Amino acid sequence: MSEQLAKELQLEEENAAFPEVVAAAEGPFITGENIDTSSDLMLAQMLQMEFDREYDAQLRREEKKINGDSKVSISFENYRKVHPYDSDSSEDEVDWQDTRHDPYRADKPTTTPRRGFIGKGKDITTKHDEVVCGRKNTARMENFAPEFQVGDGIGMDLKLSNQVFNALKQHAYSEERRSARLHEKKEHSTAEKAVDPKTRLLLYKMVNSGMLETITGCISTGKESVVFHAYGGSATEDKVIPPECAIKVFKTTLNEFKNRDKYIKDDYRFKDRFSKLNPRKIIRMWAEKEMHNLTRMQNAGIPCPQVVILKKHVLVMSFIGQDQVPAPKLKDVTLSSEDMKKAYYQILNMMQQLYRECNLVHADLSEYNMLWHDGKVWLIDVSQSVEPTHPHGLEFLFRDCRNVSQFFQKGGVAEALNERELFNAVSGLNITADNEVDFQAEIEALEKMNEDHVQNHGKKLSTFSSDGDPPIYDE
Ligand code: ADP
Ligand code: MG
């Protein structure tokens, strides 16, 4: 087969696998005008979801009827239509918990030794003994795929005949393959910029309600979010919708978020809720956090996107840029030395405002999260921002300062403070260490003092004490 033909075939296959992506790339993603065609599909999907839910509810009722008060229960879990990992209804069932240790797991029964029998004479027990074999089969069920729920057969001293065990094993294998197939499909759809059906539905509703006019396409796809551009729709009673909007969809694939929980877990604003939440809800909290932080910044007059609406894990905000072209990141724009200096002083002021007026540390501040638009710098991406008294707040601030200092020093701004000076200028603290190691040690000591205060008084310091307000820098 020629290389050309092979390529064509592969392309065809890919197109068949991701038709939505192609549609998004060719024209508007979801528009007011194409509702007629796309809505049939959407409505059908919505209806199907409804049917599936009803079916599952009926299944649950049947399950209850059959099981009654019996200690041994039969599960119809594997016959459910809306599978647990793509169902909202599972949210309250699966809690955020450590599953490495299962205190309820019974000890495994001892197995017969290798030579195949124990005991002597009349009391001899071979590996073919029905009871031993049955128990062994029950224990072997533990090796089925984790999503295959086998119940507590060991605790019940359940004995499975070889025939039953083999049938179960066969079923477990085919179920595992089926679920892997489903999962793979879903992963691909997020990887390919498209959003999962539920998010699509949410977006569709926003267009359908007239809040958005058209969702034109994807601006950016990162590890944790996908950002779309949209034209704003008509204003509602209490809201003016900006002419152009950015829609940030926090990814509902959970893996990327696991290592970020330190930002939110120790944030007292979310602390009480964190322990009770499952991963899906934590992702919604990221979106919520970004909304609250943006609102604080807006109130302080810091240039940043204005929040339009938050729906679950989807945040709609004003678009920084024009005619579908997003403003460039600071890292991608070439500024005159005059503009560079202007940008530097603006950022210095914004960091101070953020710290003092918004009581926030950005915590991911760098040339990647600052946009250059209308002759000034705009701050974005604040879902991970924390208050300065967060257990790692000052460390995050120091990291931000290092990024900013390095960027502007490399960019030729002679006036740019070094990271330690910048840290003191933003925080109003007066850490005198003249090298990085000692400086960081002092930062950590301050954070520890704050934590001790929490231990002793049950609350955080209102701020870190300083010699007064930080000096305001101006050009
Ligand atoms: P992530 O957490 O994925 O980095 P960001 O909030 O930084 O998410 O958004 C990713 C990219 O999307 C940004 O670098 C920027 O180019 C674009 N973007 C995000 N929000 C806006 C907005 N309000 N206006 C214009 N572009 C935006
Ligand atoms: Mg970013």
Which of residues 123 and 380 earns the better pLDDT score? 380
Residue listed under structure tokens 């592969």: 10
**Measured CA distances, 305 to 144, 210, 407, 474 (Å):** 49, 21, 23, 24
Structure tokens at 229: 């551009």
- Give the mean pLDDT of 67-93: 64
CA distance linking residue 379 with residue 361, whole number of Å: 12
Strands 325-326 and 321-322, sheet pairing: antiparallel
Q: Could you tell me if the CB of 386 is within 6 A of ligand 1?
A: no
Are the beta carbons of 257 and 277 closer than 8 angstroms?
A: no
Condensed to tens digits (0 to 9), the pLDDT of residues 166-180 reads 888 888 877 777 776
Structure tokens at 257: 């978020």
The ligand that comes nearest to the alpha carbon of residue 320 is 1
Residue 264: HSE in the Cβ half-sphere, 13 Å Cα cutoff: 26
Among 214-223, 239-248, 278-287, which is the least confidently predicted range? 278-287
**Is 272 annotated in the active site?**
no
Indicate whether this model's pTM tops 0.85. no
Are the beta carbons of 351 and 297 closer than 8 angstroms?
A: no
What pLDDT, on a 0 to 100 scale, did the predictor assign at position 311? Answer: 95
CA of 425 to the centre of ligand 1 (A): 28
What pLDDT, on a 0 to 100 scale, did the predictor assign at position 33? Answer: 56
Are the beta carbons of 211 and 241 closer than 8 angstroms?
A: yes
Pocket perturbation via mutation, ligand 1, pick of 248, 289, 385 by most ligand atoms within 8 A of CB? 248
Contacts of 245 (CB under 8 A, 6+ apart): 212, 229, 230, 231, 232, 308, 316, 317, 318, 319
Name the active-site residue from 364, 381, 434, 438. Answer: 364
Among 59-73, 218-232, 364-378, 396-410, which is the least confidently predicted range? 59-73
Are the beta carbons of 126 and 120 closer than 8 angstroms?
A: no
Return the axis-axis angle of helices 393-410 and 436-457, rounded to nearest 10°. Answer: 150
Q: Could you tell me if the CB of 346 is within 6 A of ligand 1?
A: no
Task: Residue 341: name the closest of 267, 436, 240, 416 by CA.
Answer: 416
Q: Could you tell me if the CB of 416 is within 6 A of ligand 1?
A: no
Are the beta carbons of 351 and 364 closer than 8 angstroms?
A: no
Map residue 315 onto helix, strand or coil: strand
| Ligand 1 atom, smallest distance to 381 CA | 6
What pLDDT, on a 0 to 100 scale, did the predictor assign at position 158? Answer: 82
| Ligand 1 atom, smallest distance to 305 CA | 23
CA distance linking residue 235 with residue 216, whole number of Å: 19
Condensed to tens digits (0 to 9), the pLDDT of residues 333-357 reads 999 999 999 999 999 999 999 999 9
Condensed to tens digits (0 to 9), the pLDDT of residues 441-471 reads 999 999 998 888 877 877 666 667 554 455 4
The model's confidence at residue 280, banded by pLDDT at 50, 70 and 90, is confident
Q: Nearest residue CA, atom 19 of ligand 1?
A: 227
Are the beta carbons of 212 and 316 closer than 8 angstroms?
A: yes
CA of 381 to the centre of ligand 2 (A): 5
- Give the mean pLDDT of 365-387: 97
pLDDT higher than threshold 70 for residue 421: yes
Q: Could you tell me if the CB of 225 is within 6 A of ligand 1?
A: yes
Structure tokens at 326: 């997003």
Mean pLDDT across the chain, nearest whole number? 79
Q: Could you tell me if the CB of 219 is within 6 A of ligand 1?
A: yes
* 321 secondary structure, DSSP code: E
Q: Could you tell me if the CB of 321 is within 6 A of ligand 1?
A: yes
* 88 secondary structure, DSSP code: G
Helix (H) or strand (E) segment spanning residue 354: helix 337-356
Helix (H) or strand (E) segment spanning residue 227: strand 225-232
Condensed to tens digits (0 to 9), the pLDDT of residues 83-126 reads 544 444 333 322 222 333 333 334 444 444 555 566 666 666 66
Map residue 405 onto helix, strand or coil: helix
**Measured CA distances, 53 to 68, 142, 186, 221 (Å):** 22, 30, 19, 31
| Ligand 1 atom, smallest distance to 318 CA | 23
